[in-house]
Amino acid sequence: MKQLDVCLTPDLLHLHKLENSIVVVADIFRATSCMVTGLAYGIQSITPVATVEECKVLQDKGYIAAAERNAQKVEGFELDNSPFSYMDERLIGAKVAMTTTNGTLSIAKARPSAVKIMVGAFLNLGALVNQLRSEQYDVLVLCAGWKGRPNLEDTLFAGALAEALQDEFMLMEDSVLMAQRLYQQGKDNLLSFVANSSHVRRLQRLGIQKDIAFSLQTDLYDVVPVLRGGALVSID
């Protein structure tokens, strides 16, 4: 039987063997919610890069570039880190380069050793569940967290995935049990369950409440972003 495990922050990734695992990266507020939204709205590909400098290089090559640090847009880049910015007709068919504080860094960390890298959010939960059921590999949900620390919303997403896949996957480790139980506790009102979390307070100070509510919606989009040749594209 396949296993589903959870890594609560990229700073714990060294504890996990990935050679038989699909890594699902989750950065609910807001990188992976943006990626799912963007691909759903017709962006051709999103190239995640770990640093602002790499993002600039791709921008100079003609990519539309999105750079976020500390929850704010970096000057000189076109796109910020709000899912609403990715619902733009001008982005249809575009190649986007993206760097964020936590999400793209997590992808970069997992990339050398994972079998495949997919991107998860509440927005594409059902589509992702179906995809993972059809795969032969174990799954590690890599929560992007905040600067190395675990956070509530990414852990809740991991728990949602565990809850949906518990009949097909073994849930052996305590991290996945904890995530699943937190999700069971919060699932009936995710928005109020995360209301006191550090990231929600951080985003609220910046006036980004609507991104939070949006990103906690389940099954809005049918896309599963997968990393191919360094770029995220929709699985056919």
Q: What angle do CA 183, 100, 121 make, to 5 degrees?
A: 30
Contact between 183 and a copy of itself by CB under 8 A: the answer reads no
Compute the distance between CA of residue 88 and CA of residue 92 in angstroms, rounded to an integer. 7
Minimum CB separation of residue 17 from a copy of itself in Å reads 13
Question: 152-171: which residues touch a copy of itself (CB under 8 A)?
Answer: 152, 155
Using an 8 Å Cβ cutoff, are 67 and 58 in contact? no
Using an 8 Å Cβ cutoff, are 151 and 194 in contact? no
Token pair 């992808």 is found at: 107
Sole window of 44-52, 133-141, 178-186, 216-224 interacting with a copy of itself (rule: CB under 8 A): 178-186
Contact between 174 and a copy of itself by CB under 8 A: the answer reads yes
Sole window of 6-14, 19-27, 57-65, 134-142 interacting with a copy of itself (rule: CB under 8 A): 6-14
Compute the distance between CA of residue 47 and CA of residue 206 in angstroms, rounded to an integer. 26
- Which amino acid, residue 139? V
User: Which of 15, 87, 92, 213: binder of a copy of itself (CB under 8 A)?
Assistant: 15
Q: Which residues bind a copy of itself (CB under 8 A)?
A: 8-9, 11-12, 14-15, 146-152, 155, 172-175, 177-178, 181-182, 185-186, 196-199
